[in-house]
Amino acid sequence: MLNQINGLHHVTSLASGAQANNDFFTKVLGLRRVKKTVNFDAPHVYHLYYGDERGHPGSVMTYFPFEGAKRGTPGTGEVSVTSFAVPVGTLGAWEARLQDLNITGVTRDERFGQSRLIFRGPDGDVFALVEQEDPRTGWASNGVSSDMAVQGFHSVAMRLHDTGSSAELLRFMGYEEEGTQGSVRRFRMENGNGADVIDLEQIDTNPARQGAGSVHHVAFSVPDKAAQLEVRQALMDTGYDVTPPIDRDYFWAIYFRTPGGVLFEVATDEPGFDRDEAPEHLGEDLKLPSQHAHLRDLLESKYLAPIED
């Protein structure tokens, strides 16, 4: 069993428009945009990162907004719900806020004894706010006060045709099975970074078709490259096809496909989002990876429309 993984690092999804995506995460959820860069493999598309004050691992939601992209079709083999932690006693204030801002799909329920508020993003993405005691400090802005601010991820839920092999993988990665509620199995990383929970839901339906509103991949946190290489070797020894480490400027990344079809990444906590911007100015300027720096004029004039904050 691995002991290098600390919980979630980030979750990356697809969107149909940069401005609507930015408005939802900064003006509705009150997160901080901590980086404005581009998709390394498609530099004509933004890569937007939202999180807490410094974009700590376990707090960062990222998006590739392909302008005008068709929505995905929900199904098995994908992340179905991304959940954020909020302070205990704040769901009422959040429910009123989301309704006042005309956010769709706002409902309440309880999972594993925790109250949660479910709602949808601009591309039909399903999110939840979960009340829990959490020492992490959220980013307060745009009408979201510090006493109700999102503190980081609570969990991701994966919808699978069969949970068995993915459960075995999570246990190998250091997660412990905590309980079952209906068709959902909960796994937790003990002594993690706060973003500690993975839910596996078994359901008999068609495979998902990825598009706007779909989660592209889920990233797990390790402290540094040495730990990442240890995880990579252990996964390969177990039979997984894992990419070599890839420099993503703000972290190093390796990727592999899970038995249930979800793409996993293992990302380093170093060097962080302040490697090319002062902490007080994170996410303000367009930052380009060195291999695309020569495209700046073309990208800004033709492909990357300015995002109004």
- Helix residue ranges per DSSP H, 112-224: 164-172
pLDDT digits (tens, 9 = 90+) for 240-258: 999 999 999 999 999 999 9
pLDDT for position 257: 98
Split at pLDDT 50, 70, 90, the class of 305 is very high
CB atoms within 10 A of CB 281: 9
Helix (H) or strand (E) holding 235: helix 225-237
pLDDT digits (tens, 9 = 90+) for 34-65: 999 999 999 999 999 999 999 999 999 999 99
pLDDT digits (tens, 9 = 90+) for 107-127: 999 999 999 999 999 999 999
Mean of pLDDT values over 9-28: 98
Contact assessment for residue 128 and residue 112, using Cβ atoms and an 8 Å cutoff: no
pLDDT digits (tens, 9 = 90+) for 121-155: 999 999 999 999 999 999 999 999 999 999 999 99
C-alpha closest to that of 86 among 120, 117, 45: 117
Place of tokens 């005008």: 68
Amino acid identity of 243?
T
pLDDT for position 233: 98
